[in-house]
Chain A
Amino acid sequence: MAFIEKNLPYILAGISVGGQYALIAIGYTMVYGILRLINFAHGDLFMAAGFMMVYLSATLPLYIAIPLVIILTVILGFLIERVAYKPLRKAPRMSVMISAIGVSYFIQNSAWYITSGLAKQYPTIPVISNSINVWGSTTTVVTVITPILTIILVAALVALIRYTKIGMAMRAVSRDFETSQLMGIRINTVISYTFVIGSFLAAVGSLLYFTNYTTVTPTAGSMPGLKAFVAAVFGGIGSIPGAVLGAFIIGICENIIKGLGWTTFYDAFTFALLIIILIAKPSGLFGEKSTDKV
């Protein structure tokens, strides 16, 4: 109990960061489930959403800027898929991955060009930036809202996948690409929907994440992106509840490590976890058994 009391601020921060990772991780896990592609550009999409918010909120009121950021991010995600991944659908997996790395390089450099490499101050969103007292430790409202919002969104997503027609198509495509094509499912539509959902969640995640961290830089997306991917692998790639659980575990562990004073290693911890998982249980916590990973 004393441990929890002492580390409460870190645990709260961990839960909040975990929720934000979870929103990004869903984008990875859904895309990987369907295309078998690590979408390296997903983290940069998240960063781009941050910059859009910075620029749009400078001229527009927040109630217009926030929906606009979400819409633009979704369009960007859709375009990335159409331009960089669709032409390579029949190419070897390595080419698609190189294309993803190329897109990531492009987005980062464009962001660098537009901002001249300077860190930008993220606008304060009223209400969720306020301070709040939780069990004797002060934190911001966003910390409390993030896990709740994450769980609501995930529940909605799971319902979408389980009960709607497009959700059923997604499940079919991730089970067997070719056969579902033979059954008359429009693969390209399904893939576009996947990217749209992933980008939407990344945009929401970016609103919460940058409210917490307050500055956006052109490389701000790469680390959270990689960590979210690790979370997706940890939970079992293709499984949405797995990705969410993995993200929360990583967020909390990371912040406890920070709290113990091992700040240098808090990035490394995530990757150490990844390597242990890949070697010990490559299908992750909830992943389906598959033989092509190892």
Chain B
Amino acid sequence: MEHLNNKQKILITAALIIGLFILLLVLEQFLPSSSMLFVVLKKGAIYALVVVSMNLLNGFTGLFSLGQAGFMLIGAYTYAIFTIPVEARPMVYQYFNGGIVKFTLPVIPAIILAGIVTAIFAYLIGLPVLRLKSDYLAIATLGFAEIIRAFFQWDKLGPITNGSNLLKLYPVFHSVIFPFTVAGICIAIIVLLINSSYGRAFKAIRDDEIAAEAMGINLAHHKQISFTISSFFAGIGGALLAMFQTTVQASAFRATMTYEILLIVVIGGIGSVTGSCLASFLFIACSEWWLRFLDNTTYIGSFKVPLLATGFRKVFFAVVIMIIVLFYNRGIMGTNEFSLDALIEFFRKRFSKRRKEDSAT
């Protein structure tokens, strides 16, 4: 039983990533850009980033935070506010005399700024909140998310945030390559972080806080790092989501969004990055594409298929999620990661089994 050495692994991984991007490029050339596939891929990549960032907090550090929608909101707004072209501002901020921000940032710096602003907010929120434990932390972060939403809708901040009106006309992406690149880089950074000594400290905190403290890990410091970094990437995810939707409104970032992200984390497996990515694409594909038919009243001949009507898709989802939570609480991947070794092992077993069966017959 030989394993792949590191060099081979890196080569194969790189080849797979390049292959994926070439595949995406080819698909974009041949399929019409209105194809549902691209919607799923774009939104899936964005959700993957947000879900992984939540998993870093809930699955790897054991901090049950429900503030993700609030942090995405900050990211989305920061991006939108700083990238609306100067000439479009009077139209967007029509009730606030064109707003007070009179300059425009390029796209990439604006996305990074979105992450940084979110991280700063998260740091400040983390100072008091991270002293709380489990469900109290959950409810406090949920509360902060609501407060953030109220602030962004406040009339007095209108010159910056446009009050409760839409933000629009900022640069967006058209190619599916863009969200894949940004989300890919961010997820890669998170994976590197998880495999570093910080990541091991996070896992130690998750498994047993007292033991971790006894081993010399500074709890407050590490929780704060995890919370801030997770929010940084949630902010970037928010900025990407803003680009995907082409308009932003604070009222969309409700607690329901956080619940949905949390449930994707659970489906993928709490504590598995690849599980989160897989679950995001699966969830988005099902909800936006494959299960759309559940929402349409359908006739087979003259027979009306029962139950199918607007909203049935979501009920179906909710049932699936409850089944996963109750009976299969490890999700798709549990705490395992997808790895080449495991894949090769899996196929080898399959083949050797078949070979044995062949020789037996």
Contact = CB atoms under 8 A, between A and B. Distances in A.
A180 interface: no
B139 interface: yes
Interface stretch (B96-104, B110-118, B125-133, B234-242): B125-133
A268 B144 CA distance: 8
Contact of B311 (A97, A113, A226): A113
Contacts of A103: 322
Contacts of A93: 134-135
Given A265-B154, A274-B140, A95 B325 contact: yes
A88 B326 contact: yes
B310 interface: yes
Given A222-B255, A264-B150, A264-B154, A113 B326 contact: no
B135 A84 contact: no
Interface stretch (B11-19, B36-44, B47-55, B313-321): B313-321
B300 to A, nearest CB: 21
Interface stretch (B84-92, B258-266, B276-284, B340-348): B258-266
B266 A84 contact: no
Contacts of B132: 278, 282, 293-294
Given A97-B64, A110-B315, A264 B133 contact: no
B286 to A, nearest CB: 14
B321 A105 contact: yes
A279 interface: yes
B194 interface: no
B322 A279 contact: no
A63 B214 CA distance: 64
A106 B259 contact: no
A87 interface: yes
Given A99-B326, A101-B262, A103-B322, A94 B64 contact: yes
A104 B314 CA distance: 12
Contact of B150 (A38, A87, A102, A267): A267
A212 to B, nearest CB: 22
Interface in A206-247: 219, 222, 226, 229-230, 233
Contacts of B159: none
Contacts of A109: 311, 314-315, 317-318
A279 B131 CA distance: 8
A271 B144 contact: yes
A110 B262 contact: no
B351 interface: no
B155 interface: yes
Given A99-B326, A279-B131, A292-B133, A106 B315 contact: yes
Given A105-B318, A116-B309, A274 B139 contact: yes
A106 B322 contact: yes
A87 B151 contact: no
Interface in B280-337: 309-312, 314-315, 317-319, 321-322, 325-326, 329
Contacts of A230: 139, 143
A168 interface: no
A102 B325 contact: yes
A204 to B, nearest CB: 25
Nearest to A115: B311
B312 A113 contact: yes
Given A229-B139, A294-B131, A113 B325 contact: no
Q: Which of the four size classes fits the interface of chain A?
A: 35 or more
Q: Which of the four size classes fits the interface of chain B?
A: 35 or more
Nearest to B143: A271
Nearest to A219: B256
Contacts of B255: 222, 226
B147 interface: yes
Contacts of B322: 84, 99, 102-103, 106
A226 B315 contact: no
A34 B76 CA distance: 40
A112 interface: yes
Contact of A275 (B58, B64, B143, B325): B143
A64 to B, nearest CB: 28
Interface string A107-129: 01110111011000000000000
A97 B322 CA distance: 12
A4 interface: no
Interface in B134-180: 134-136, 138-140, 142-144, 146-147, 149-151, 153-155, 164
A218 B293 CA distance: 22
A106 B319 contact: yes
A21 to B, nearest CB: 16
A101 B147 CA distance: 20
A116 B311 contact: yes
Nearest to B163: A264
A271 B151 CA distance: 13
A219 B314 CA distance: 14
Contacts of B147: 268, 271-272
Contact of A116 (B129, B256, B310): B310
Interface string A256-274: 0000000011011011101
A36 to B, nearest CB: 8
Interface string A273-292: 01100110010000000001
16 contacts: A38-B135, A84-B322, A97-B138, A98-B266, A101-B262, A104-B259, A105-B263, A106-B322, A109-B311, A113-B311, A219-B256, A233-B139, A268-B146, A268-B149, A274-B140, A278-B132
Given A93-B135, A109-B315, A274-B139, 4 more contacts: A84-B326, A99-B322, A113-B311, A268-B150
